[in-house]
């Protein structure tokens, strides 16, 4: 049973990789939170336009952050997720993040660090965390 689940997981990951490689562009949604043991977590979602011009959204990864949620740890977690999924950032056009201080700092926020590797044209607050 375990190998069957692993095979299904690999198939889903492979399809997502192929979809992102063939997409016109994609955006990231990065959500920082804590698990039940109060350990920092990073949920990474991708929104992309498929080859048949359909907007899709899928979870890319959920990453446990080692100690803190400082911007360099968030950036390292994003890099690890991109490397694991074999995703190139040349089609990355925007990022939506929560309003946590690490995500909205002046110079060290993750989108500033990612700008050199991508074509980011916008950083937006996550709608779930946008003040009314």
pLDDT digit string, tens, across residues 102-122: 444 455 455 554 555 555 554
Decide which of 3.40.50.720, 3.40.109.10, 1.10.3720.10, 3.30.420.40 is the CATH code for 2-125.
3.30.420.40
Burial class (CB within 10 angstroms; exposed 0-12, middle 13-18, buried 19+) of 15: exposed
Q: How much is the pTM? A: 0.72
Question: So where are the chain's domains?
Answer: 2-125
| Residue 23, φ and ψ in degrees, nearest 5 | -75, 160
Q: Count CB neighbours of 63 within 10 A.
A: 19
Predicted pLDDT of residue 121: 53
pLDDT digit string, tens, across residues 40-66: 888 899 999 888 888 899 999 888 887
28 strand-pairing partners? 46, 95
Strand residues in 1-132 grouped as ranges (E):
26-34, 40-49, 55-64, 92-97, 122-125
The answer to whether residues 87 and 17 touch, using CB atoms and an 8 Å cutoff, is yes
Predicted pLDDT of residue 84: 85
- CA-nearest of 83, 65, 74 to 17 is 83
């Amino acid at each position: 049973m375990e190998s069957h689940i692993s095979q299904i997981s690999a198939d889903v990951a492979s399809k997502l990789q192929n979809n992102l490689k063939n997409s016109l562009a994609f955006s990231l949604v990065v959500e920082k939170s804590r698990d039940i043991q109060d350990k920092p977590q990073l949920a990474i979602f991708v929104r992309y336009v498929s080859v048949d011009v359909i907007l899709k959204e899928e979870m890319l990864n959920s990453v446990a952050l080692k100690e803190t949620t400082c911007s360099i740890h968030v950036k390292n977690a994003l890099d690890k997720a991109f490397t694991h999924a074999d995703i190139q950032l040349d089609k990355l056009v925007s990022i939506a993040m929560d309003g946590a201080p690490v995500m909205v700092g002046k110079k060290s926020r993750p989108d500033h660090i990612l700008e050199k590797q991508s074509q980011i044209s916008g950083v937006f607050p996550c709608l779930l965390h946008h003040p009314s």
